[in-house]
A and B are shown apart, each in its own frame.
Chain A
């Protein structure tokens, strides 16, 4: 009894640990991608939610903006950008004494003029003599900056750095590369489970065996064969059909294997009832197997799609590294080389590449839950 509770606690703690280990970096990446690029370079994402003290330098307006009132001269203005949310806490007029004055304290300059700054950044510079300076006076302020998020990184990454195009390229690769094997393999899996033909079990054994053949082994021979055959039909060496076929080929074994195992587990008597009802294999496949296999299709779809989405190798070899063909993973790798310093680009790019897998997972997760067959047979 006590042992059970202890085991439960340990299991739950471990589970929590895994969740944290997985979620925390993702969350950090997510937060980072929305941060200002200057802040990103100097502080960690966890500081985003705090109010930070920042030191900034501004210049006042020049003599042209002075106003004369009762024989005195004023320059008025606001140091801070509108709606920035910052609050000035102290200021200085020389770089040596940046925090000399608190707000609403008057700083007296050498020429006896007075500057006063309030919390919201408004300043009043008062002088008995007319102002003559042509460059604004430098003012050093220390301000409290509230958390600040921006979509600028996304704008830049998607439209300027080419991640947007690469995203579309990857979709162009991934969708056919998932749908085609799913269609082929569903027929194949049905045949392997419910049709009797000579050598069926041997064929299935071969498929299982081919699961262990590493992709890397056949990549180059495959490309060379594809190029030779493509030359006959005047198809370019590196193009989308090639990468679709490659992914389809590499996905066939595992997709067939998973679908076959599911389709085989459907109740035998139900299939026989359909046969007695007069259904041909095609009818059974279309009207019974397909609707009942939706959960299996969904999970195989997820697996194959994520595999293709995250793939770098096949995409590198079967596609040119030009803007119209480069896939997201390859593009990220390229950026890592050329823009390695620009964290805002990398974090945002990485998060863009994660959006689709995350969306797929959350959209299809209910299909992981089986139970569609309940009601067909007793139990």
Chain B
């Protein structure tokens, strides 16, 4: 329906350069999630697309029309805010009808559209209530409803679920995914929660300090992180990073050190890398094995055991830092036990000393 293309945009707040030359293409009808830690510029990006924040240089176009200088209402977008931003003095109906009334739509059309949106979001029973009579989840539905009634080309979500409690968040996440299927609209979603990003997105854009760190499908980002930042950001619990160095490098057969106790053969490392260069091995907790013979083994002492039922996280002491390993839920490993951790070279990500991945 409508694609968004962002071309080399920059944004300064005073002297602070928050968005640095970012270019991005967002496909029509896709669900794109902008994710990153606080202060990475993701909300600013969204607000620039919405037209609430000016762009210092570069261009944003929606459907091949440059919208740099258009006010929000002419961009055909709708935005859902973290704090709901409902109009407290209006009923739910009036909140949802506000935009339509401003467009001077007929009464019948307003009624029809609001009721339709209310039906989708299951808030038909609350239409005559005021926002303060609603729970957090209901308020957020109204906020989403307000966006839907206007039938925009693009939906912008600014951390819409972060004010909700955990259970509600999961529920609303599912509903948002359903909504995207129903509406076939382009959605851009900002969050700092990588779970939301992984579950909702067609495309994830990882932002780090004002630049796009990596863009791709959730599984691409999970399997092939471009750098340490993305590797660490995507996936929960976090990827383990182990300092290492290249032991030998010849004919597709590179051996790297594993905490002095073993060696792993990695094929990904480029030929130009020299022996002795320091690297980092990144390996996700779910890709490590316990007490099984693997390509490379390392023994350590367990100092924390977290049992979640569906799985268990073991924190194994590695020079004072934890190495997290995921194992089955009903393990009988206890704190203080010595365990053998197995590494599989195919599941190891190797990053150079700047943090970039060898691919």
Residue in B73, B83, B84, B163 whose CB lies within 8 Å of A277: B73
Residue in B51, B77, B136 whose CB lies within 8 Å of A378: B136
Q: Which residue on chain B has the smallest CB distance to residue A270?
A: B85
Stretch of B31-39, B98-106, B242-250, B258-266 lying at the A interface: B98-106
Neighbouring A residues of B88 by C-beta, 8 Å: 270, 292, 372-376
Neighbouring B residues of A375 by C-beta, 8 Å: 86, 88, 130-134, 139
A278 touches B103 (CB 8 A): yes
Q: How far is the CA of A278 from the CA of B132 in the complex (A)?
A: 24
Question: Mask for A276-288, Cβ within 8 A of B = 1, else 0?
Answer: 1111000100011
Q: How far is the CA of A377 from the CA of B150 in the complex (A)?
A: 22
**Distance of A219 from chain B, by nearest CB (Å):** 41
**Distance of A52 from chain B, by nearest CB (Å):** 57
B73 touches A288 (CB 8 A): no
For A, the interface residue count at a CB cutoff of 8 angstroms equals 23
Q: How far is the CA of A291 from the CA of B90 in the complex (A)?
A: 9
Question: How many A-B contacts if CB must be within 8 Å?
Answer: 86
A278 touches B52 (CB 8 A): no
A275 touches B85 (CB 8 A): no
* Residue A267, interface by CB 8 Å: yes
Q: A269-B82, A283-B102, A375-B131 are in contact. Are A274 and B71 (CB under 8 A)?
A: no
Neighbouring A residues of B314 by C-beta, 8 Å: none
* Residue A225, interface by CB 8 Å: no
**Distance of A225 from chain B, by nearest CB (Å):** 42
**Distance of A233 from chain B, by nearest CB (Å):** 41
**Distance of A266 from chain B, by nearest CB (Å):** 10
Q: How far is the CA of A372 from the CA of B78 in the complex (A)?
A: 26
Q: How far is the CA of A134 from the CA of B89 in the complex (A)?
A: 82
Residue in A277, A291, A292, A373 whose CB lies within 8 Å of B102: A277
* Residue A109, interface by CB 8 Å: no
Q: How far is the CA of A275 from the CA of B102 in the complex (A)?
A: 11
Residue in B89, B131, B163 whose CB lies within 8 Å of A292: B89
* Residue B113, interface by CB 8 Å: no
Residue in A291, A292, A374, A376 whose CB lies within 8 Å of B85: A376
Q: How far is the CA of A377 from the CA of B132 in the complex (A)?
A: 9
Neighbouring A residues of B86 by C-beta, 8 Å: 270, 273, 375-376
Question: Mask for B72-100, Cβ within 8 A of A = 1, else 0?
Answer: 11000111011111111100000000110
* Residue A341, interface by CB 8 Å: no
Q: How far is the CA of A376 from the CA of B79 in the complex (A)?
A: 16
B83 touches A269 (CB 8 A): yes
Neighbouring B residues of A377 by C-beta, 8 Å: 83-85
B52 touches A272 (CB 8 A): yes
**Distance of B85 from chain A, by nearest CB (Å):** 4
B85 touches A378 (CB 8 A): no
* Residue B188, interface by CB 8 Å: no
Q: A375-B131, A378-B136 are in contact. Are A275 and B52 (CB under 8 A)?
A: yes
Q: Which residue on chain A has the smallest CB distance to residue B143?
A: A273
* Residue B284, interface by CB 8 Å: no
Question: Mask for A189-224, Cβ within 8 A of B = 1, else 0?
Answer: 000000000000000000000000000000000000
Q: Which of A227-276 contact B (CB under 8 A)?
A: 267, 269-270, 272-276
Neighbouring B residues of A372 by C-beta, 8 Å: 88-89
A277 touches B146 (CB 8 A): yes
A277 touches B52 (CB 8 A): no
A376 touches B136 (CB 8 A): no
Q: A269-B82, A272-B52 are in contact. Are A277 and B89 (CB under 8 A)?
A: no
**Distance of B135 from chain A, by nearest CB (Å):** 11
Residue in B87, B136, B143, B163 whose CB lies within 8 Å of A274: B87
B102 touches A269 (CB 8 A): no
Q: Which residue on chain B has the smallest CB distance to residue A371?
A: B132
**Distance of A374 from chain B, by nearest CB (Å):** 5
Neighbouring A residues of B71 by C-beta, 8 Å: 275
Residue in B84, B98, B150 whose CB lies within 8 Å of A376: B84
Neighbouring B residues of A275 by C-beta, 8 Å: 52, 71-73
Neighbouring A residues of B150 by C-beta, 8 Å: 277-278
A276 touches B72 (CB 8 A): yes
Question: Mask for B136-148, Cβ within 8 A of A = 1, else 0?
Answer: 1001000100100
Q: Which residue on chain A has the smallest CB distance to residue B140?
A: A378
B79 touches A272 (CB 8 A): yes
A267 touches B85 (CB 8 A): yes
* Residue B118, interface by CB 8 Å: no
* Residue B6, interface by CB 8 Å: no
* Residue B50, interface by CB 8 Å: yes
Q: Which residue on chain A has the smallest CB distance to residue B131?
A: A375
Residue in A274, A278, A279, A291 whose CB lies within 8 Å of B89: A291
Question: Mask for B120-164, Cβ within 8 A of A = 1, else 0?
Answer: 000000000011111010010001001000100000000000010
Q: How far is the CA of A283 from the CA of B87 in the complex (A)?
A: 13
Neighbouring B residues of A276 by C-beta, 8 Å: 50-52, 72-73, 77-79
Residue in A274, A287, A288, A378 whose CB lies within 8 Å of B83: A378
Q: Which residue on chain B has the smallest CB distance to residue A283?
A: B102
**Distance of A297 from chain B, by nearest CB (Å):** 13
Q: How far is the CA of A276 from the CA of B102 in the complex (A)?
A: 11
**Distance of B84 from chain A, by nearest CB (Å):** 7
B132 touches A374 (CB 8 A): yes
Q: Which residue on chain A has the smallest CB distance to residue B99?
A: A277
**Distance of A83 from chain B, by nearest CB (Å):** 56
Residue in B79, B130, B136, B163 whose CB lies within 8 Å of A273: B79
Neighbouring B residues of A270 by C-beta, 8 Å: 85-88
Interface contacts beyond A288-B89, A292-B89: sample of 6 additional A-B pairs, CB < 8 Å, sorted by A? A273-B86, A273-B143, A277-B102, A277-B150, A278-B150, A378-B83
**Residues of chain B having any CB pair with chain A under 8 Å:** 50-52, 71-73, 77-79, 81-89, 98-99, 102-103, 130-134, 136, 139, 143, 146, 150, 163
**Residues of chain A having any CB pair with chain B under 8 Å:** 267, 269-270, 272-279, 283, 287-288, 291-292, 372-378
Please name the 5 residue pairs, one residue from A and one from B, whose CB atoms are nearest each other, closest first.
Answer: A375-B132, A278-B73, A277-B99, A269-B85, A376-B88
Q: List 10 A-B contacts (CB under 8 A).
A: A270-B85, A274-B87, A274-B98, A275-B71, A276-B50, A276-B77, A276-B78, A278-B103, A287-B98, A376-B87
